[in-house]
Amino acid sequence: MPHPLPLSLLACMALAMPSLAVAQDDPPKRLRNVQVMGNEPCPEAAPDEILVCGRIDPEEQFRIPKQFREPPPSPANTAWAVRAERMMDDNRIGLPDSCSPVGTGGQTGCAAMFNNNWRAMAREQRRLDAQVP
Q: In whole angstroms, how far apart are CA 121 and each of 91, 109, 132?
A: 26, 18, 17
Please indicate, yes or no, whether the overall pTM of this predicted structure exceeds 0.75: no
pLDDT in tens, 22-68: 445 677 788 999 988 888 899 998 888 899 998 888 887 777 877 77
pLDDT at 78: 82
Where does 47-109 have alpha helices with state H?
66-69, 80-91
Q: How far apart are the first and last CA of the chain?
A: 100
